[in-house]
């Protein structure tokens, strides 16, 4: 980049430059120690320091070529003076657009016609503005009623619009050698309520980190269990009892929840396994807590669609201008967006004939959630006007001011130029002047002249105060619902299995004739009915509840079995009245005598079989030694 002193020196030299009719200026370069000099032309301006794009295929301007062009240029200057040109353009606000006056005259506006007006004053010509029948650039497959049809047929002398340089159109028109700018088409979408990087409980880690955490949570418990079993078998240590798989799995889960453990391993290897998992969980939870705080307060806002690949992989609907650079870049095979052609076939891409960008923004983006693809100057003007309108609705709420967000990565980048009919010599006059306008930054200035210097509606609005929403805590609700649903499913499974087991047990005893009256009818109420009776009787013992540590009435002494309950209370407390007025010992008398249980020979020993209050069968030994031990275990 040239310094200020160099620019001043160059300006002073230009004052001394001869006019066009004289010989062109040259610089003297010393060739050797003999002091001789040789005249050569000035080097071209550094491309990297200019907005213009240098074409490496363009011929190098030498002193000889410039001298040959001078007479031709003078002839063209004489020819264009006072000439009337027909200039075609497109409705592409703010770069080029037209207005029809009351007298029917069409007047051109925008950056393109500000450049044309400059050329008009420079070369003293007049012009009229025409537009194609359809507001499209055109292509070999979309040629009729297009702009390139007018240029190709020489109906117009020049196309004053920012026309993207596409490969298929080169055989129909001649693009200007001076690139006005490198057009960037940007995506505009509805501003999402939360960042695409996530929010809430899952935000601190990406998807695969959560998957690996879940895998480790499921795998570490069995791994610890297997290593403990392997260690005991290899060492033959009988002092430490191996923990069960359930204990190991519960230890892993409890450590993840920062809970303590009742497991106290003795072996050093087992202690190291436990300590390793604790250290891993400590580091993991520390990172999670810190990142969660950062995401809820200082996280960078990102959009769900930033590049062309996001549109393609997620099959997102998008809309762009009919007959614009985006459409032809997709439909043309050798262009950069040709991979999106199948989205047109699947109706994911819409090309609107409406030239009003505000209409497209409201109809497609705001109402239907489409992504709007438009060139950057039009996007900036459109969002700025929408911002000014919405600020009249709400003065202080930034979310109301900026309901749309603009992606930072360009959807498409193309050089844009004016276009001439093939064989036209106007480019030799206009292109050098256009190059001066581009290099001086005037074209870029004109494109941004009506915009503020600050960025309009950036991705991150920069608000520091943020209250937690339900969306941030949605994962906690999901966890609670999943936990309750799982518990309900397990509880239902327990009830089903308990019912199935009771039915199997009842059928087993029924095959032996136990629990039935002499006429073959079952006298034992169902287990569900017995549990309901216990609840209503006020005993407070739930179905299947553990009776350890409770004062449960033991079965009657074996002597009372033979004397018909002469001892009174013990036997009566183990009986329950039936519908026919009989009493069943031990809750339900299992067949046989109505005053006692059923005597059975089991494994070579005599037993009296009773039903206890919880529905289980109780065996009371009949032989004296066994009966004494049985009685002692219940009463002493």
What residues form the annotated binding site for L-glutamate? 375
Contact criterion met (CB below 8 Å) for 407 and 189: yes
Q: What are phi and psi of 418, to 5 degrees?
A: -80, 165
Tokens 């043309």 appear where?
A: 332
Q: Give Cα separations from 352 to 136, 163, 326 (angstroms).
A: 11, 18, 12
Q: Of 68, 74, 77, 67, which Cα lies nearest the Cα of 24?
A: 67
Spacing of C-alpha 30 from chain mean position = 64
Contact criterion met (CB below 8 Å) for 418 and 163: yes
Distance CA 362, CA 378 (A): 15
3-class secondary structure for 25-67? CCEEEECCCCCCEEEECCCCCCHHHCCCCCCCCCCCCCHHHHH
Contact criterion met (CB below 8 Å) for 528 and 499: yes
| Burial class of residue 376 in the structure, from the number of CB atoms within 10 Å of its CB (0-12 exposed, 13-18 middle, 19+ buried) | middle
Residues 6+ apart with CB under 8 A from 552: none
Q: Give Cα separations from 389 to 125, 382, 407 (angstroms).
A: 41, 11, 22
Q: Which two tokens stand for residue 155?
A: 């109906």
Distance CA 455, CA 176 (A): 32
Residues 6+ apart with CB under 8 A from 631: 557, 558
Contact criterion met (CB below 8 Å) for 183 and 416: yes
Q: Give Cα separations from 12 to 16, 41, 436, 556, 591 (angstroms).
A: 7, 18, 18, 128, 129
Contact criterion met (CB below 8 Å) for 128 and 187: no
Q: Of 318, 434, 455, 436, which Cα lies nearest the Cα of 384?
A: 455
Distance CA 150, CA 138 (A): 10
- Residue list, annotated binding site: 375
Rg (CA), the chain: 46
Q: Of 415, 416, 403, 331, which Cα lies nearest the Cα of 372?
A: 403
> Other C-beta atoms within 10 Å of 220: how many?
22
Handedness of CA 494, 497, 500, 503 (dihedral sign): negative
- Give the bridge partners for 163, in sequence order: 417
List the alpha helices (DSSP H) in 132-196. 147-152
Contact criterion met (CB below 8 Å) for 188 and 406: yes
Contact criterion met (CB below 8 Å) for 608 and 598: yes
Q: Of 347, 349, 340, 346, which Cα lies nearest the Cα of 312?
A: 340
Pairing of strands 318-321, 349-352: parallel
Supply the DSSP symbol for 334: T
- Give the bridge partners for 611, in sequence order: 588, 617
């Amino acid at each position: 980049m040239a310094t200020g002193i160099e620019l001043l020196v160059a300006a002073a030299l230009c004052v001394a430059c001869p006019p066009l009719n004289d010989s062109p200026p040259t610089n003297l370069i010393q060739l050797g120690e003999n002091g001789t000099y040789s005249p050569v032309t000035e080097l071209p301006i550094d491309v990297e320091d200019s907005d213009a794009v240098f074409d490496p295929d363009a011929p190098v301007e030498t002193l000889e070529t410039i001298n040959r062009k001078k007479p031709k240029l003078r002839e063209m200057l004489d020819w264009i003076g006072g000439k009337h040109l027909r200039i075609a353009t497109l409705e592409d606000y703010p770069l080029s657009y037209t207005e029809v006056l009351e007298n029917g005259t069409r007047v051109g506006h925008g950056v393109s016609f500000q450049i044309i007006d400059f050329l008009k004053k420079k070369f003293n010509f007049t012009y009229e503005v025409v537009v194609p029948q359809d507001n499209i650039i055109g292509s070999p497959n979309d040629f009729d009623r297009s702009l390139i049809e007018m240029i190709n047929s020489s109906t117009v002398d020049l196309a004053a619009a920012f026309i993207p340089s596409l490969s298929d159109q080169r055989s129909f028109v001649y693009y200007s050698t001076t690139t006005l700018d490198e057009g960037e088409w940007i995506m505009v979408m509805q501003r999402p309520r939360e960042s695409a990087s996530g929010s809430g409980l899952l935000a601190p880690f990406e998807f695969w980190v959560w998957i690996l955490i879940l895998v480790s949570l499921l795998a570490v418990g069995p791994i610890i269990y297997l290593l403990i079993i392997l260690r005991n078998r290899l060492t033959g240590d009988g002092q430490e009892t191996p923990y069960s798989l359930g204990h190991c799995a519960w230890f892993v889960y409890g450590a993840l929840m920062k809970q303590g453990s009742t497991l106290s391993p003795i072996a050093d290897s087992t202690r190291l396994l436990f300590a390793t998992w604790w250290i891993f969980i400590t580091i993991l939870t520390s990172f999670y807590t810190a990142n969660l705080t950062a995401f809820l307060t200082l996280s960078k806002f990102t959009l769900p669609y930033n590049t062309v690949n996001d549109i393609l992989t997620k099959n997102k609907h998008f809309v762009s201008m009919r007959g614009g650079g985006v459409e032809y870049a997709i439909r043309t095979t050798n262009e950069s967006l040709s991979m999106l052609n199948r989205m047109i076939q699947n109706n994911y891409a819409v090309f609107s004939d409406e030239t009003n960008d505000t209409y497209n923004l409201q109809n497609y983006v705001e109402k239907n959630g489409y992504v709007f693809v438009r060139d950057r100057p039009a996007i900036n003007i459109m969002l700025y006007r929408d911002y000014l309108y919405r600020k009249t609705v709400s003065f202080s709420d930034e979310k109301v001011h900026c309901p749309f967000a603009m992606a930072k990565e360009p959807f498409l980048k193309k050089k844009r130029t004016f276009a001439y009919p093939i064989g036209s010599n106007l480019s030799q006059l206009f292109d050098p002047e256009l190059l001066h306008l581009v290099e001086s930054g005037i074209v870029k200035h004109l494109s941004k002249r009506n915009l503020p210097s600050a960025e309009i509606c950036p991705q991150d609005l920069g608000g520091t105060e943020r209250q937690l929403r339900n969306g941030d805590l949605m994962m906690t609700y999901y966890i609670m619902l999943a936990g309750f649903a799982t518990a309900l499913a397990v509880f239902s499974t327990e009830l089903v299995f308990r019912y199935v087991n009771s039915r199997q047990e009842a059928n087993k005893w029924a095959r032996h004739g136990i629990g039935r009256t002499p006429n073959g009818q079952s006298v034992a109420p169902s287990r569900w009915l017995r549990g309901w009776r216990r609840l209503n009787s006020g005993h407070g013992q739930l179905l299947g509840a553990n009776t350890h540590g409770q004062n449960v009435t033991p079965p009657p002494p074996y002597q009372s079995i033979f004397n018909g309950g002469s001892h009174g209370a013990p036997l009566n407390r183990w009986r329950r009245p039936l519908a026919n007025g009989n009493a069943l010992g031990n809750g339900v008398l299992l067949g046989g005598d109505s005053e006692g249980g059923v005597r059975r020979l089991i494994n070579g020993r005599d037993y009296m079989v009773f039903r206890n209050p919880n529905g289980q069968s109780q065996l009371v030994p009949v032989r004296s030694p066994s009966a004494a031990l049985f009685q002692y275990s219940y009463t002493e």
